[in-house]
Amino acid sequence: MSQTRVVRIRESILAENTVHATALRERLTASSVAMVNIMASPGGGKTSLILRTIQELRSEFRIAVVEADIDSTVDADKMTAVGIEAVQIETGGFCHVDATMVQAALAELRLDDLDLILLENVGNLICTAQHDTGAHVNVALLSLPEGDDKPLKYPIMFAAADIVIINKTDYAEIAEFDIDAVRHRIAQLNPRAEVLPVSCRTGDGIGAWIERLMSRVENARSAAIPNPGRSMPGRQPGPRDAR
């Protein structure tokens, strides 16, 4: 009797995406551009975090935003309203973006004019963590109103993150959320992940987020292959340098 042959489509697709993601990351690195992939469930605070980050860094870095949604340009419009170049990816039903989608979006941007790209992934705690986008830094957001059980229910997301933001700390008095328990669960899943409590509404913890982010961004950009056709200004002196 012949043996049944199995074609593992999912494994093949993920492997192919990894190849594209690696090439994209190398291209960005060679251009001295860092890309940050921000993931969360709908309402977790991705857009608010990006707007806060832009507010802190726009005088020091040349920033663009790539927005991903199943439909609509609502979040991209918020970026252009504050003077930041934005490209919208409409996934047409896909619950994530992959490296090929991001590559198509980056074709609309001039990398020589940028230092930092912020990617707002589709609102989802599962699929987004399974697909490499080509980003240098992966950030997962978890907000207090969502509950502290998410690292148990969606371990892939927190295992994939370089930085975990615990957002909406201003809800601490009304939300049943055990931050210490969340830290412990994440440490078990992913000891290398940094966990940072913040409130995008009040600004609490934003300074620590910016410092951690910039450390990782500088590491990504400092690895750039010298490009004679591009100036590499690096981070310009900003308000924090005077402190």
From the list 109, 110, 133, the residue with the least C-alpha distance to 25 is: 133
Residue with more model confidence, 19 or 227: 19
The contacts of residue 197 (CB under 8 Å, 6+ apart) are: 165, 166, 169, 179, 204, 205
Q: Which CATH architecture has domain 34-220?
A: 3-Layer(aba) Sandwich (3.40)
pLDDT tens-digit profile of 199-216? 999 999 999 999 999 888
Burial class of residue 238 (count of CB atoms within 10 Å of its CB; 0-12, 13-18, 19+)? middle
Q: Average pLDDT of the chain?
A: 85
Alpha-carbon distance 183 to 189, whole Å? 10
Q: Indicate the pLDDT class of residue 197, thresholds 50, 70 and 90.
A: very high
Instruction: Kindly report the length of the chain.
Output: 243
Domain boundaries defined on the chain: 34-220
What are 125-168's pLDDT values in tens digits?
888 888 899 999 999 999 999 999 999 999 999 999 999 999 99
CB–CB of 224/32 below 8 Å? Answer: yes
Query: Which residues, in sequence order, are CB contacts of 55 under 8 Å at separation 6+?
Result: none
pTM of the model as a whole: 0.84
pLDDT band with cut points at 50, 70 and 90 for residue 74: confident
Rounded Cα gap, residues 56 and 52, in angstroms: 6
Residue appearing with tokens 């240098």: 136
pLDDT of residue 1: 58
